[in-house]
């Protein structure tokens, strides 16, 4: 399948609900792990919407590119300078959940441009949408003066590993995030890097 009509463009505030759905998917359960139960009656994806719709902070839509088809958002890439993580305020999150992910946050390619989320709607996969979103991210990284893009991928996500290998990403390190019944990944998280 090929989808030439897909437009890759900077995200806008109104895209936030669709972006949240996709970014939640990209996390492989990490947002549910961190956020579930914190705001009664709200799903993790719903809790992501205000930050994405806003214009400040690393989670803002200003750091996202979206793939649009027929007026609908079918893919998203979210990326920003990885050093911003050092200044994030995680004080609203449960300390035990953060502690479980400590190796993830510590295993970073400081100084790089960080792809924090990439996802494509299941109905539009294998059509080159992720590749086009990655191209958009490489361009943003270069424009920002960065020479490389880094990202984390769960070791048990073969589709994403295959995509990143075909795009020339290489393993830099592994974060030994332990298996957890609410975050049941095997093999931890792999830090990958590619020069741009």
Ligand X SMILES: CC(C)(COP(=O)(O)OP(=O)(O)OC[C@H]1O[C@@H](n2cnc3c(N)ncnc32)[C@H](O)[C@@H]1OP(=O)(O)O)[C@@H](O)C(=O)NCCC(=O)NCCS
Could you say whether residue 120 binds ligand X (CB under 6 A)?
yes
Secondary structure of 1-58 as H, E, C letters: CCCCCCEEEECCHHHHHHHHHHHHHHCCCHHHHHHCCCCCCCCHHHHHHHHHHCCCCC
Region from 31-39, 55-63, 104-112, 154-162 binding ligand X, contact rule CB under 6 A: 154-162
Could you say whether residue 48 binds ligand X (CB under 6 A)?
no
Could you say whether residue 162 binds ligand X (CB under 6 A)?
yes
Among residues 30, 45, 52, 119, which is the contact residue for ligand X, using CB under 6 A? 119
Could you say whether residue 177 binds ligand X (CB under 6 A)?
no
Distance of CA 93 to the CA centre of its chain: 19
Please list every residue from 17 through 46 that binds ligand X, using CB under 6 A.
Answer: 25-26
In this structure, what are the phi and psi dihedrals at residue 33, rounded to the nearest 5 degrees? -60, -45
| Longest alpha-carbon distance in the chain | 45
Among residues 19, 127, 137, 190, which is the contact residue for ligand X, using CB under 6 A? 127
Among residues 9, 72, 110, 131, which is the contact residue for ligand X, using CB under 6 A? 131
């Amino acid at each position: 399948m090929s989808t030439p009509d897909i437009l890759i463009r900077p995200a806008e505030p109104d895209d936030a609900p669709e972006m949240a759905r996709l970014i939640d998917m990209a996390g492989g359960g990490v947002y549910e792990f961190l956020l579930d139960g914190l705001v009664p009656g709200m799903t993790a994806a719903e809790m992501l919407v205000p930050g994405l719709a806003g214009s400040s902070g690393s989670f803002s839509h200003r750091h996202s590119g979206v793939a649009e088809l027929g007026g609908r958002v079918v893919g998203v890439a979210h990326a920003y300078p990885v050093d911003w993580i050092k200044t994030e305020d995680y004080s609203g999150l449960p300390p035990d959940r953060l502690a479980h992910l400590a190796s993830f946050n510590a295993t970073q390619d400081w100084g790089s441009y960080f792809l924090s989320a990439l996802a494509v709607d299941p109905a539009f996969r294998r059509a080159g949408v992720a590749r086009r979103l990655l191209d958009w991210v490489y361009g943003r990284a270069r424009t920002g003066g960065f020479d490389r893009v880094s990202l984390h991928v769960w070791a048990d996500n073969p589709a994403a590993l295959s995509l990143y290998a075909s795009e020339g990403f290489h393993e830099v390190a592994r974060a030994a995030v332990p298996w957890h019944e609410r975050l049941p990944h095997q093999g931890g998280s792999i830090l990958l890097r590619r020069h741009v």
